[in-house]
Amino acid sequence: MQKRKLGKSNLQVSAIGLGCMGMSFSYGPPKDKQEMTSLLRAAVERGITFFDTAEVYGPFLNEELVGEALAPFRGQVVIATKFGFDLSGSDNRPGAAGLNSQPNHIKQAVEGSLKRLKVETIDLLYQHRVDPNVPIEDVAGAVKELIQEGNVKHFGLSEAGAKTIRRAHAVQPVTALQSEYSLWTRTPEKEVIPTLEELGIGFVPYSPLGKGFLTGKMDENTTFDSSDFRSSLPRFTQEALRANQALIKLLGSIAERKKATPAQIALAWLLAQKPWIVPIPGTTKLNRLEENIGAAALELTPDDLRDIDSAASKIKVEGARYPERLEKMTGL
């Protein structure tokens, strides 16, 4: 597996990482711990060195799983986690917890994450969502102190807009931004990606396979259990799933030409955008993990990329990414 550097930070990771959320959270009930431990270790054996978790996934279950599973590989892997939600309430649905990025809360969150991840230092610590009640300078300042104390190595933001990124970066250099980015969510291209390029910040797209849609395995008859958060997303209604099949046809036609799968084309497209982009597709299945890893070796030519962009520009993606209350938590 090739390696990539996240911006100018010298944080080197595998070209494709592994998003671990779905192992414990959001996509139905938590998966079997032993099976997920085997999968995480299989990822390391296959060259993945970048793993993404957060205290809110579970809450706490996912960090515990990742910490235990990756304990034998200390020093060989980079684990990213996130703070920023108030987890004192009992409602653990995705996005149900209120935001809390008060500096004292950040420090408490980091203490908990260090224990659960079984590490002395967090490799990459993201603010999970921008908290409108706490100036981003205070957030960056709190993380700067944690870095000076040796508890954290690198600072990241998630779903922040260009202005917020600049303000945070002026206090404590930002190593990476994590936001949703894929062939069906291209908002970051307008302001965010040029800002990252200018400042030398890496980009970690989450949901690079459109929460499973870009694998080509869903159609308008696909249904989701109420424990699967896609059941509440506008982009996963029957009408939207039907309307958005045009994207799958496009990926399928390129995949046929390249003897690959639609998912591999979607990931290879992201990798081709910038050398400092590292997508983190999530999965709970070994065959999917191997399929995703295969995308790193797939080269899209300038002609392939032109064909994809030209066809994609004619496709209007139907359905909002999130319900309104969650969309408000993104970008500033």
Could you report the per-residue pLDDT of 54-98, keeping only the tens digit for each?
999 999 999 999 999 999 999 999 999 999 999 986 555 555 679
Q: Is the dihedral of CA 129, 175, 19, 88 positive or negative?
A: negative
The answer to whether the CB of 63 falls within 8 A of the CB of 53 is: yes
Residue 325 confidence class, pLDDT cut points 50, 70, 90: confident
Reading the block at residue 148, the tokens are 């000076």
Residue 96 is predicted with a pLDDT of: 64
HEC string of 7-27 equals HHHCCEEECCCEECHHHCCCE
> Quick one: 169 exposed, middle or buried, by C-beta within 10 A (0-12, 13-18, 19+)?
buried
> Considering only CA atoms, which of 239, 250, 243 is closest in space to residue 216?
250
Kindly report the average pLDDT of the chain as a whole number: 94
The answer to whether the CB of 163 falls within 8 A of the CB of 304 is: no
- Could you give the percent of the chain with pLDDT greater than 70? 97
Could you report the per-residue pLDDT of 144-178, keeping only the tens digit for each?
999 999 999 999 999 999 999 999 999 999 999 99
Q: Which residue has the higher pLDDT, 272 or 90?
A: 272
Q: How many CA atoms does the CB half-sphere of 97 hold within 13 Å?
A: 22
Tell me which residues are annotated as active site.
57
Could you report the per-residue pLDDT of 174-223, keeping only the tens digit for each?
999 999 999 999 999 999 999 999 999 999 999 999 999 999 999 999 99
Residue 28 is predicted with a pLDDT of: 85
Model confidence at 315: pLDDT above 70: yes
Domains of the chain (ranges, CATH numbers): 3-327 (3.20.20.100)
